[in-house]
Structure 1
Amino acid sequence: MNLKEMLNVADRIVFEKTGQHLDDLQEAVLRGTLQRETYKEIAKDFNCSESRIREIGSELWQILSEDLGEDVNKKNFRSAMERLEISIYLNVAQEESVQINSVNICGEARHPPNIPNSHPPNEETSNSKPTKTSHQDLSEMPELRDFYDRTPELHTLTTWILQQRCRLITLTGISGIGKTTLAVQLVQQIKDEFEYAVWYTLDEFPTIDKFQSNLTQLFSHSEKQDSSPTNQKRLPLIKYLQNHRCLIVLDDVHNLFCSGELAGKYKPEYEDYRTLFKQIEKLSHQSCFLLIGWEQPREVTQVKNQNTAIRTLQLKGLDIAAAREILREYGLEESDNSEALIHRYQGNPLWLKSVANLIQDLGGGVTELLPNDTILLPEDLKDILQQQYDRLSELEKQVISLLAKESQPINRAKLLENEIIPASDLLNALQSLSRRGLIEQQTNFYTVSPVLRQYLHRNLDGSDALP
């Protein structure tokens, strides 16, 4: 939902509760909240007291909380509306699935006001499918703390998994960009659509035998509980994926791959995962694997045909509005340079938190500590970048150092003119660096982010200044 649609839904909820539509001041509070304005800013815009705005906000949050069945407040209003949208989407997808396999006598669905072609959350219909027993092992899934707006990405992943029935999805991106946080939010929203929902971190189950054994043990144990057979035989993993609708998330999948090589090359002891992922892609089944990591398997990157059951989402930085929410938590939202700071650190949540924490500790401001496009590299941020740099092959290090010397995007033809790196090797390195999210490509031009360029410059020659 966009801002106007969210206001329309809120207006419907308030009208059903009070018999009155939103007045101008109530709408201003909701609109300001969605635009991430403070109560003080909203009051100033509307020429009234901050206490009056807070009072109106409190009344609205109470009404919305009662209707949506959760504690709604200024901080989570946007995310509550996004969860409502996902709930509506899931109900529609569920009904459409049922109607495909049954006779729809009326051919007409009920829709809530202002939300076309959808059903309100928690609405019971005569066509709802029977609830299946849900078995979940999410003990390794991190707790969701701060979640910043990722509505388009959530919608894309939800569509791929629930509507398009993709079997293998990779979620990649540079460290700190928010891959795991996004996946946790996704799993929380769609897990009940599956008979099994499982989250494994691959540093805990590195070998294929141990990983498959843990999965099949979960399946066979739950089947015994459900059917109580006298002698249940454990099946191959693929059979369980065919017999049941499963969502299996593998986090830190980059631990399967070699350091010092181009992206996605398996360590010798983990080559069997290649066979598993090919099975998941090729064989018919009704389950979905979501792979999260800095790198993805090479067999996945080679698939570009949208008719296949494989998809890849490379996560980028937050937009300005969402990134400002981070700066607001550190008291930096009023800074005139906040937007420039967000661009400089590419909207990367972890990078922004790191530099905002340093600014807060030093007791300064953005303009004072980051004048003239200065890049600060806190020690924890340098450690994060070092981990990613250490994974690169020597060839990639050579190529990224060439890019780091240029403050502007450099044409691929110019890169190929270098007399050190053969053309074939250079192109392979550019492809690998792009897959890692360490360089940016626009048509035939390549560049390195200011943060990474500053780090590389210091890492290569110890200098603190940009070239």
Structure 2
Amino acid sequence: MNIDNGLKFAQGLIENHTTKPLSDSQMTVLRGSLEDKSYKEIYDAYKISVYYSREIGPLLWEKLSAALGVKVTKRNLRSVIERHLPPEKQQIFNVENLPRCNDEIIYIVGRDEAISDINTLVSQRNKIILIQAAGGVGKSTLAKEYLNTQGFELVLQLEMAKDKENITAVESVVEEWLKQDFQEEPGREFGITLIRLRRQLQTRKVGILIDNLEPALDQQGRFIEKHSLYVELLRVLADSSVQSITLITSRERLSDERVNGICPYPLSVLDVTAWEEFFTSFKIRIDADTLSAMHKGYGGNAKAMDILLG
């Protein structure tokens, strides 16, 4: 089976059933599972936490089961998709030399200036940078590209659940980081756990991504009361003594007076030159007038560009 075709087919089934787009982490777990990787192997290949992979996976299989009307598990995922994949999509193409979308191997265009801007902010001793923009502009793609290319010893990722009631408690997040990524036991109290995390971040160059923060914020940009302990985590990440750099992506502003040291970075949309580069890289030719009209119609939105590729 062609993995890319199987991935897009499964993605379409889930998104049509739920009417919601899959996140980058969901796409990564889906791809890794179609490649017959274990959750540990998905972590090794894509640096998606084993904890989150095991949390994301069963929800994906549940949605696929509902969409197809058959029981889907991680073990039978590939065989089920192969049975339902249209025959013309079974053909295997040589795509190794083409950039891939919706994968942790990200093809990024038009963001050299943004990466340079972030490097400037880091050189000014900013420890937390908030990348803010509307949905689909490319916040997460930029943040992952930056963290994957700046020589960090370790990259940690936390993706906020889209629904407030499903947001993972910060205590669980930090405990998972300590156990899985630093091989250290958390403390009995959250304060002790944070001390141990700070100690690790003081000795290692770590990149941290907190992706899609907005579900954890109220209308004033403050952390909702149930998850106010995220404030304590950000205080550690903003500490001048740590070597880590944290990128936060959010559609909404973060205006919580309990947290200092967060540097906002508003991300602009891609220009038409970036759109042209993107489609050209996939060997798709579009005349200049049509491309300009597409770019204008969708406001330079990077997610729209990716969707139109299909």
TM bucket (normalised to shorter chain) is 0.5 to 0.7
Q: Which one has more relative contact order, counting CA pairs under 8 Å at least 6 apart?
A: 2
Within a 5 Å distance, the mapping from 1:157-196 to structure 2 comes to 157-161=118-122, 163-190=123-150, 192=151, 194-196=152-154
> Amino acid of the residue matched to residue 293 of structure 1?
S
Which of residues 269, 272, 290 in structure 2 aligns to 1:320? 272
Q: State the partner residue of 2:197.
A: 237
Q: Indicate how the Cα distance of structure 1 residues 335 and 280 shifts in structure 2: closer, same or farther if over 3 A, else same.
A: closer
Within a 5 Å distance, the mapping from 1:294-305 to structure 2 comes to 294-299=251-256
**Is the Cα–Cα contact under 8 Å of residues 165 and 288 in structure 1 kept in the other structure?**
no
2:47 equivalent to 1:138: yes
Cα displacement string for residues 148-192 of structure 1 (whole angstroms, at most 9, x for unaligned residues): 22110111123333x3332111112111111111122112211x3
Counterpart secondary structure, 1:336: helix
> Amino acid of the residue matched to residue 111 of structure 2?
R
Q: Indicate how the Cα distance of structure 1 residues 346 and 330 shifts in structure 2: closer, same or farther if over 3 A, else same.
A: farther
Which of residues 275, 290, 297 in structure 2 aligns to 1:344? 297
2:113 equivalent to 1:152: yes
Using the size of structure 2 for normalisation, the TM-score is 0.55
Q: State the partner residue of 2:229.
A: 272
2:242 equivalent to 1:333: no
> Amino acid of the residue matched to residue 147 of structure 1?
I
Q: Indicate how the Cα distance of structure 1 residues 256 and 136 shifts in structure 2: closer, same or farther if over 3 A, else same.
A: farther
Cα RMSD of the aligned pairs, angstroms, is 3.5
Counterpart secondary structure, 2:168: coil
Within a 5 Å distance, the mapping from 1:252-401 to structure 2 comes to 252-258=212-218, 261-262=219-220, 264-282=221-239, 284-299=241-256, 309-326=261-278, 331=284, 333-354=286-307, 356=308
Counterpart secondary structure, 2:256: helix
Q: State the partner residue of 2:96.
A: none
Percent identity reads: 19
Q: Distance in 2 between matches of 1:352 and 1:301?
A: 38
Q: Distance in 1 between matches of 2:295 and 2:176?
A: 42
**Is the Cα–Cα contact under 8 Å of residues 172 and 315 in structure 1 kept in the other structure?**
yes
Counterpart secondary structure, 1:299: coil
Q: Indicate how the Cα distance of structure 1 residues 276 and 219 shifts in structure 2: closer, same or farther if over 3 A, else same.
A: same
**Is the Cα–Cα contact under 8 Å of residues 202 and 241 in structure 2 kept in the other structure?**
yes
Counterpart secondary structure, 1:318: coil
> Amino acid of the residue matched to residue 47 of structure 2?
L
Q: Indicate how the Cα distance of structure 1 residues 160 and 331 shifts in structure 2: closer, same or farther if over 3 A, else same.
A: same
Q: Indicate how the Cα distance of structure 1 residues 198 and 346 shifts in structure 2: closer, same or farther if over 3 A, else same.
A: same
Q: Indicate how the Cα distance of structure 1 residues 332 and 164 shifts in structure 2: closer, same or farther if over 3 A, else same.
A: same
Q: Indicate how the Cα distance of structure 1 residues 337 and 265 shifts in structure 2: closer, same or farther if over 3 A, else same.
A: same
> Amino acid of the residue matched to residue 139 of structure 1?
I
Give 1:302 shift. Answer: 9.4
Give 1:321 shift. Answer: 0.8
Q: Distance in 2 between matches of 1:167 and 1:210?
A: 23
The number of aligned residues is: 203
> Amino acid of the residue matched to residue 319 of structure 1?
D
Q: Indicate how the Cα distance of structure 1 residues 147 and 219 shifts in structure 2: closer, same or farther if over 3 A, else same.
A: closer
Give 1:220 shift. Answer: 4.3
**Is the Cα–Cα contact under 8 Å of residues 206 and 256 in structure 1 kept in the other structure?**
no
2:177 equivalent to 1:215: yes
Cα displacement string for residues 194-213 of structure 1 (whole angstroms, at most 9, x for unaligned residues): 34321222338721110111
Rg larger in structure: 1
